[in-house]
Structure 1
C-alpha cells in the first residue's frame, strides 16, 4: 500500500512539473515594448497648424517651425505652452555661432535663465540634426531642458541622441541664416512674437526706430554756450 501511495505521488509531481516550467518561462519572457514611429516632416504650412510654431523676428521676417510631438511629445508641449503664454515674446537670440546654430528662449538673455516650469526629462531620438533642425538646449544634466532651444545652420550629427530634436524649420530658413551672430550679439535679433499657427495671430509691427537728428552746417559753426 505504501509503495502504491509513493508511486501515485511521484506521478502527480511528474504531471505538474511541465506546467511549472512553462510558468517560469512565461515570467522570464521580455515584455514587448510598443515600437516608436518617427513620422516624416509635413512641410505644408496649411496642415496641422496646431503643431506649427511661428517666430516673428525683429528683422520683420516670420519663420515657421514644424513641431513633431511624435518625436518628443513633452518638449513640444512645453514649447507650445510657453508660446501661448507669451513667454518668448521679446526674447533675444543670445548665442549665435556662425556655421553652427542660433540659440534663444532665455528671458534674461544670458543663457542661464529659463521658465518657472520644471525641467524636462530627456526625449532623445534618432532623428538627425540637419540644417533647420530645432532642438532643445540643456545644461550638463540630460534632464535639464526647460525653455531654451536652438536652430541648426548646418548638419551637426554629433548632437544626435544627446539633445532632444523636436522640430524643423519649414518656411523662411534664410531669415534664420540672417540672425545676428555673437555670444551675445552686440545688436541681437529678437523674437517679437512666438505663436502657434492655429491662433492666427497677425505679424506684429516692429518697434519704430527714431532717426538721429540731422546736424546742419549752421549748428556745426554755432558758438558753444557756457
Structure 2
C-alpha cells in the first residue's frame, strides 16, 4: 500500500511540475504576442514624396532596434538629410550635423552581427572603424551587398515605399540632399507631414572605388 502511495505521489508531483511549466510558458507567450506588429514598424516620411515603411528585427538586433525606436520617438531623425548616397550601393542618414561625423549623445552600441544578408531594401547600422561604434547613423541598401554581411548590423528591411528610397538624391554629399521629413513608429499613429514637392534625382558618376568604399561615417 505504501509503495502504491509513493508511486501515486511521485506521479502527481511530476504532473504538477509539468502543468506549472506549461503555465509559465503560456504566461510568457501573451507577453510576446501582446506587442503589436506596429510597434516594430519604422516609418520614414521622405522629401522624395512619400512614406517608407521598415520592418524592424528586434529578435536579430534588439539593442539596435531599441536605439532607433528611442531616437525616433525623441524626434532625433526629423529633418536629417541623406548625406552619403551612392548609386548602385546605398543611402546613408542619421547624422544631425549632415557631415557623416556626428551622432546622438547616447553611448555607442555593441555590434549585433548575425546571418541576415544585405539584400535590396535592408536597413543596417553605420559605424566607424571599430565594430562597436554604431550610434545613430544607418543606411538603406539599393542592391545586394553581401561583402557587408557580419560586418554591419542589419536591424530592418523596407517593406513598402522603396520607390521613395530609390528617388533619394545621389552624392557624397549630394548638392541638393533629400531628407527625412518625419520619422515615427507605426504604433504611435503619426500622420504624414504636409506634402512637399518631389525633388528630382541628381545623377552622378560613381567610380569603382566609390562603390567599394566602406560605409564608415
Q: Distance in 2 between matches of 1:179 and 1:58?
A: 8
Secondary structure at the counterpart of residue 139 of structure 2: strand
Determine if the alignment matches structure 1 residue 128 to structure 2 residue 108.
no
Could you list the runs of 5+ residues in structure 2 that have no partner in the other structure? 1-35, 198-217
Q: Distance in 2 between matches of 1:61 and 1:190?
A: 11
The alignment's C-alpha RMSD in Å is: 1.3
Determine if the alignment matches structure 1 residue 198 to structure 2 residue 198.
no
Greater Cα radius of gyration, structure 1 or 2: 1
Give the count of matched residue pairs. 163
Q: Is the 8 A contact 2:54 2:159 kept in 1?
A: yes
- Residues 97-142 of structure 1 show CA distances to partners (whole Å, capped at 9, x for unaligned) of 0000000000000000000000000000110000000000000010
For residue 54 of structure 1, the aligned residue among 43, 52, 56 is 43
The runs of at least 4 consecutive aligned structure 1 residues that moved more than 4 Å come to none
For residue 144 of structure 2, the aligned residue among 145, 152, 155 is 155
User: Shift of residue 143 of structure 1?
Assistant: 0.3
Give the TM-score normalised by the residue count of structure 1: 0.70
Determine if the alignment matches structure 1 residue 66 to structure 2 residue 60.
no
- Residues 146-199 of structure 1 show CA distances to partners (whole Å, capped at 9, x for unaligned) of 000000000000000000011000001111111000011011101010000011
| Bigger relative contact order, structure 1 or 2 (CA pairs below 8 A, ≥6 apart) | 2
